[in-house]
Chain A
Amino acid sequence: MDYALIVILQLVVTIANLALISAGLAVIFGMMRIINMAHGEFLMLGGYAALVSHQAGLNLWLAIFVAAPVTVGLIGAVLERLVIRRLYGRMIDTMLATWGVSLALVGVVTVIFGNRVSGISPPLGSVPIGGYAIGLYELLTAGVTALLFLGGWIVLRRTPVGLIARGAMQNREMAAALGVDPARVYATTFVTGAAISGLAGALIAPITGVAPSIGSVYIAKAFITVISGGTAILTGALSASALLGSVNTAFSFVMTPVLGEVALLAAAVLLLRVLPRGITGRFFRRSL
């Protein structure tokens, strides 16, 4: 019984982890159709922003929930102004440009912090469950992910801001004709995506540590999750995380963690063969 509970909790944590690293990309790639190859570096920058501000004396929670998203959001704003703005609607070009940005960010961070792993210990300790235990921080991360997606849903569905954003993404000219400034909407959306990535990177940092090249660990998984999810960004990212995360956890427990990773990739390949437009291309089509 205790064991079943711990396995379920581990499953929730794994799914939340996938959803968390994909959330920012779901906004930038899912909504804006920008193939953001620098997504992994946004996560990495979030981790460093939290680490550095915490080491400079800032409270850990403020570092994670305020400093990291603000820093990465600002970096996103600069990048949007200098690079991304010129490339809206040119998907392949965004891929090349953001790949260049990704290499540059890795280079700059390596120069500043050195190519080494730094870390903060995860706070909060652990909760015992029968003879087992699980880190409270990991559960908190899962909770924050849930709140993040709930918040995203409320903003997109229930607020005028969300409506305008969705409208501008769907039909730029029509939105402009109705008096919306699409350039501003695009910039704001990109910055929001970057800030979410920053928060995600900061949340993961205490668990995994940060290194300049750590983005490469996440980028493939994030893209696989978002693409498997399909057009509806929130439902898509969540359902794909749930599916791929379950496959990963099941194989990790029954066999080895390495086969868990292999199974995740195999499941994604299979999924896209059966549902080329992602999960939400077939199911939950009217969702967000």
Chain B
Amino acid sequence: MTDFSRRTLLKTAAAGAALGLAPAYLRHASAAEPIQVAGIHDASGGIDIYGRPMINSLALAVEEINAAGGVLGRPIALKNYDPQSNMQLYTQYATEAATKQKASVVFGGIISASREAMRPTLRRFRTPYFYNMLYEGGVCDRNVFCMGSTPAQTLQKFTPFVMKRFNAKTIYVLAADYNYGQITTKWIRKFASENGGAVAQADFFPLDVNDFGPTIRKIQAEKPDMIMSVLVGAAHNSFYRQWVAAGMKDKIPMASTTFGIGNEQVLTSPDEHNGIVVSYAYFDGLKTPENEAFLKKYTARFGEKADAVTEASAMTYHAVNLWAAAAAKAGSVDRDKVILALESGLSFTGPAGKTTIDPKTHHDTLDTYIAEVRDRAYHVLESFPQQPPADTAAVCDLAASPNETKQFVIDVKS
């Protein structure tokens, strides 16, 4: 019995190896069978403020494509997984999406820790993966496409902009204590020192910290010229409230790399957020025809009270459309063919303007903006069209080394 099953296993393995992509090939044999697509976003827990608008956009994009006849004549079957802001569940669901659901593509991941939890799994199972949140840059993996903005696209302009606006030389950084916060702080150090300033102090906080009293006293002692908030998640939101309660609102100005991507402008009051300056690749107040049309559909589908569209939400919409365009171009949803099609420099013009995939880094060239938060809305102060992903490009060339899998980390000597 043992021998028999082992032999069967070996045979199957040999057959599988010989045919290579046989299962994928067999799957497109029947044309009407739906294409499996997975979305893995936190719909609950402390990270859900980022996840909810992304899940909406994913559903909207898939429904639109299905209404227009699907991809290659086949409808998309979307399955959403909720990892509940728990990094272990990300690995589990990524495995489930790749093996049980046999998804052709995965959209998802919010905080960088979740992306790094899923990336090796999806690479091992050869399932293409779109990560749509802005992040610290440097991921170099041919199986992954990063759609969000990275520090060279935002912080490089943003840091000197806010230093000039606030007439600031010293910056106090408050950051979330995981890879995004740590690496973003290094970038801030680099750009601050390049512009004649310095990071006076950087404090890091685990995601469940919600008491910032001692830190606010430390800031008062340090007297920096400005604050840069790299805080992440719902618990950290209480910082903005405690900052105002401590009477610091108009004493030290604040900029943030994260305020608003969880729609914090809705969760805090105007007293708490007026004057904070942020920089992203999308704001829901953009007056382009594509964005206005998109927002109309979004509101019609999810109602007036739905979570406002964020950069990550808009980029999720772009990602689905780019993937669908690539599949159509490749004439297949096979992983290698779709990746090749995406690497042909595919672009999509949507709510966030024109985004073009950079074949060497699998990041994208996109428009970025600097805006001020005022009365629950963003007022764009400056825009920077078509920014290339220069940070990742400096360290990553997937055309030359397609087997690279690591995330490069900037090395800043302060």
Q: What residues of A have a CB within 8 angstroms of the CB of B48 in the complex?
A: 115-116
Known: A7-B217, A133-B246. Contact between A257 and B209, CB under 8 A?
A: yes
Q: Closest CB of chain B to A40's CB: distance in Å? A: 12
Assess whether B213 is in contact with A126, with CB atoms less than 8 Å apart.
no
Q: What residues of B have a CB within 8 angstroms of the CB of A257 in the complex?
A: 203, 205, 209, 212, 214-215
Report if A178 contacts B (CB, 8 A): no
Which chain A residues in 148-167 approach chain B with CB under 8 Å? none
Q: What residues of A have a CB within 8 angstroms of the CB of B271 in the complex?
A: 121
Give the contact stretch, choosing among B106-114, B162-170, B232-240, B405-413.
B232-240
Residue of B46, B206, B245 near A137 (CB, 8 A) is B245
Residue of A121, A208, A214 near B244 (CB, 8 A) is A121
Question: What residue of chain B has the Cβ atom nearest to residue A10's Cβ?
Answer: B217
Assess whether A217 is in contact with B234, with CB atoms less than 8 Å apart.
no
Chain B proximity mask over A245-257: 1 for CB below 8 Å, otherwise 0: 0000100110011
The CA-CA distance from A121 to B273 in the complex, in Å, is: 12
The CA-CA distance from A86 to B223 in the complex, in Å, is: 57
Question: What residue of chain B has the Cβ atom nearest to residue A134's Cβ?
Answer: B246
Q: What residues of B have a CB within 8 angstroms of the CB of A121 in the complex?
A: 241, 244-245, 269, 271-272
Question: What residue of chain A has the Cβ atom nearest to residue B174's Cβ?
Answer: A257
Q: What residues of B have a CB within 8 angstroms of the CB of A261 in the complex?
A: 209
Question: What residue of chain B has the Cβ atom nearest to residue A217's Cβ?
Answer: B208
Known: A121-B271, A213-B45, A258-B177. Contact between A253 and B245, CB under 8 A?
A: no
Chain B proximity mask over A115-126: 1 for CB below 8 Å, otherwise 0: 111110110111
The CA-CA distance from A3 to B177 in the complex, in Å, is: 27
Report if A13 contacts B (CB, 8 A): yes
Interface size on B (CB < 8 Å)? 39
The CA-CA distance from A121 to B271 in the complex, in Å, is: 9
Which chain A residues in 199-213 approach chain B with CB under 8 Å? 206-209, 211, 213
Assess whether B272 is in contact with A126, with CB atoms less than 8 Å apart.
no
Assess whether A258 is in contact with B204, with CB atoms less than 8 Å apart.
yes
Assess whether B220 is in contact with A209, with CB atoms less than 8 Å apart.
no
Report if A260 contacts B (CB, 8 A): yes
Assess whether B267 is in contact with A119, with CB atoms less than 8 Å apart.
yes
Q: What residues of A have a CB within 8 angstroms of the CB of B206 in the complex?
A: 258
Assess whether A258 is in contact with B223, with CB atoms less than 8 Å apart.
no
Residues of A within 8 A of B (CB): 3, 6-7, 10, 13-14, 17, 110, 115-119, 121-122, 124-128, 131-135, 137-138, 206-209, 211, 213-214, 217, 249, 252-253, 256-258, 260-261
CB<8 Å pairs between A and B, sample of 25: A3-B221, A10-B213, A10-B217, A13-B213, A14-B213, A117-B237, A119-B241, A121-B271, A125-B247, A133-B251, A134-B247, A135-B242, A135-B245, A135-B247, A206-B241, A207-B211, A207-B238, A208-B238, A209-B235, A211-B46, A211-B234, A217-B208, A217-B210, A252-B218, A258-B205
Contacts A118-B267, A217-B235 supplied; 18 other A-B pairs, CB < 8 Å: A10-B213, A110-B44, A117-B234, A119-B238, A119-B241, A121-B245, A124-B245, A126-B247, A133-B251, A134-B246, A135-B245, A138-B213, A209-B238, A209-B241, A252-B215, A257-B203, A257-B214, A258-B204
